[in-house]
């Protein structure tokens, strides 16, 4: 009985979260197959089930079950537990919500928004990858997906200050800019936290971190838990309002930027009382104002465009503006920019252990791209991309270099003469 209730709950929630603006996509799809060649999972696996348009099937079946003229007679296709298990793999393990399929779709179908809505159906049915759901629960209960509580954050920042002799502002009473961090950076790439502090201090920005709202990533959104997604937005908003910040800066994290920038107001239920900028956008703004000056870097590098920052976020040019003039041997990948291949770990896929094998196969696409440029190092502005690529690099024993854009910029500051 419980299983039946869960299945029906999934069907109802599919419609509740998708019907109003996404059912039209069911009619719009012309089954041309162009999205298949655009998807990194299909490219890596060759499995027709990984064609992005296939992810419309859950919505289609739920719609027919509930809305077809013959549904009341019980003649519409029934949703089964087997359906849910298959759809879970499609919607969670093999979709990073990168939007590359939409760029080639002649009908402009936004698969990423379909996946985001459909994931909520799985929560309603009591389903979903346990590790991804646990990360969302950690965010709610402990402040971050990796369990970085406010106290752990304070301890970590104090250690980083002492270790690097860089002041890191925390809980100032008033500040013009609220900086956020991702727990990936705090626990795995702490040099990036130091680099951001160094850059903001160097350029004279009035900024602070806040123990009231510091975690930028939104695993509530990624896991399909709308209540947690809203809570994470509320925490950042409360922190910004408490210090009077008019700008919230998102660190090197793609989905953190996309969720707050484009969906935050809808989750909050009112306009955001601040401007949301990714760290690359904010640094580019400082450079345009003449406040960020860099010395040349000779090493050959290429840039990996994080999907939610470039293709779906619109900040593609700012990263290149930052590289302009100081990266003397910059080499573009092919394809690049809005058409660049995803790292394979976005959309929460990085947190799903069972998805690792296919994720590693996807990284071979990036390896080939970098090797074609001949660049020594691939630079990115997303810590989730870095984590995904570092793990796959170790898996394949690849010798290419990986680096953070913020880190290399901080390492090439022109210091003021004393």
Q: Please tell me the least confidently modeled range out of 70-79, 89-98, 308-317, 396-405.
A: 70-79
Tokens of 357: 């094998």
| Side-by-side strand order, sheet with 297-304 | 327-330, 297-304, 377-380, 401-404
Mean pLDDT calculated for residue range 15-31: 72
Contact 346, 255 (CB under 8 A): yes
- What pLDDT, on a 0 to 100 scale, did the predictor assign at position 4? 47
- What pLDDT, on a 0 to 100 scale, did the predictor assign at position 84? 80
- What pLDDT, on a 0 to 100 scale, did the predictor assign at position 17? 60
Comparing 115 with 398, the larger pLDDT belongs to 398
Closest CA to 261 of 209, 312, 185: 312
Contact 299, 408 (CB under 8 A): no
CA 98/CA 96 separation, integer angstroms: 5
Mean pLDDT calculated for residue range 19-24: 64
Residue with token string 């990948």: 333
CA 223/CA 119 separation, integer angstroms: 7
Residue 387 CB neighbour total at 10 angstroms: 20
Given a cut of 80, is residue 128 above it in pLDDT?
Answer: yes
- What pLDDT, on a 0 to 100 scale, did the predictor assign at position 40? 97
Return the SS3 of 327.
strand
Contact 42, 120 (CB under 8 A): no
CA 11/CA 121 separation, integer angstroms: 7
- What pLDDT, on a 0 to 100 scale, did the predictor assign at position 397? 97
Given a cut of 60, is residue 418 above it in pLDDT?
Answer: no
- What pLDDT, on a 0 to 100 scale, did the predictor assign at position 270? 97
Domains, the chain, with CATH or none: 2-128 (1.10.1060), 132-285 (3.40.50.1860), 289-410 (3.40.50)
CA 307/CA 384 separation, integer angstroms: 11
Q: Give the CA distances from residue 334 to residues 34, 147, 291, 367, in Å, rounded to whole numbers and listed in that order.
A: 19, 38, 32, 12
pLDDT band at residue 68, thresholds of 50, 70 and 90?
A: low
Of all residues in the chain, the percent with pLDDT exceeding 70 is 90
Mean pLDDT calculated for residue range 329-347: 96
CA 31/CA 45 separation, integer angstroms: 20
Tokens of 66: 């509930």
Model pTM score: 0.92
CA 319/CA 413 separation, integer angstroms: 16
pLDDT band at residue 61, thresholds of 50, 70 and 90?
A: confident
Question: What is the Cα gyration radius of the chain?
Answer: 22
CA 413/CA 379 separation, integer angstroms: 17
Residue 77 CB neighbour total at 10 angstroms: 13
**pLDDT of 312-337, one tens digit each?**
999 999 999 999 999 999 999 999 99
**pLDDT of 182-213, one tens digit each?**
999 999 999 999 999 999 999 999 999 999 99
Given a cut of 60, is residue 2 above it in pLDDT?
Answer: no
Closest CA to 100 of 309, 312, 303, 346: 312
């Amino acid at each position: 009985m419980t299983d039946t209730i869960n299945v029906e709950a999934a069907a109802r929630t599919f419609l509740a979260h998708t019907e109003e603006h996404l059912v039209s996509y069911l009619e719009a799809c012309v089954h041309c197959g162009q999205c298949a060649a655009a998807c990194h999972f299909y490219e890596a696996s060759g499995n027709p089930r990984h064609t992005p348009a296939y992810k419309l099937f859950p919505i289609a079946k739920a719609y027919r079950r509930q809305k077809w003229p013959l549904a009341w007679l019980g003649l519409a296709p029934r949703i089964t537990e087997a359906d849910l298990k298959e759809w879970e793999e499609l919607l969670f393990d093999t979709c990073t919500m990168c939007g590359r399929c939409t760029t080639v779709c002649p009908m402009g179908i936004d698969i990423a928004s379909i996946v985001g809505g459909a994931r909520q159906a799985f929560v309603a049915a009591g389903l979903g990858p346990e590790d991804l759901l646990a990360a969302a629960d950690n965010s709610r209960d402990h402040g971050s997906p990796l369990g970085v509580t406010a106290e752990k954050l304070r301890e970590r920042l104090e250690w980083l200050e002492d270790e690097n002799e860089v002041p890191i502002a925390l809980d100032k009473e008033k500040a013009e800019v609220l900086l956020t961090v991702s727990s990936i950076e705090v626990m795995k790439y702490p040099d990036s936290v130091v680099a951001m502090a160094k850059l903001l201090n160097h350029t004279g920005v009035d900024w602070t971190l806040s123990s009231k709202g510091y975690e930028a990533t939104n695993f509530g959104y990624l896991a399909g838990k709308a209540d947690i997604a809203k809570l994470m937005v509320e925490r950042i908003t409360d922190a910004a309002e408490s210090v009077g910040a008019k700008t919230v800066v998102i660190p090197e994290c793609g989905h953190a930027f996309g969720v707050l920038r484009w969906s935050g107001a809808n989750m909050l239920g009112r306009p955001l009382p601040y401007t949301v900028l990714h760290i690359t956008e904010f640094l580019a703004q400082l450079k345009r104002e003449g406040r960020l000056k860099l010395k040349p870097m000779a090493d050959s590098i290429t840039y990996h465009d994080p999907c939610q920052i470039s293709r779906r976020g619109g900040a593609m040019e700012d990263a290149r503006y930052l590289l302009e003039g100081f990266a003397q041997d910059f080499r573009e990948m092919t394809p690049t920019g809005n058409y660049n291949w995803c790292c394979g770990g976005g959309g929460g896929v990085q947190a799903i252990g069972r998805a690792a094998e296919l994720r590693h196969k996807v990284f071979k696409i990036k390896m080939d791209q970098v090797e074609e440029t001949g660049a020594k190092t691939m630079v990115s502005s997303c810590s989730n991309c870095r984590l995904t690529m570092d793990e796959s690099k170790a898996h394949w024993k690849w010798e290419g270099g990986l680096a953070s854009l913020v880190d290399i910029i901080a390492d090439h500051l022109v210091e003021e003469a004393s």
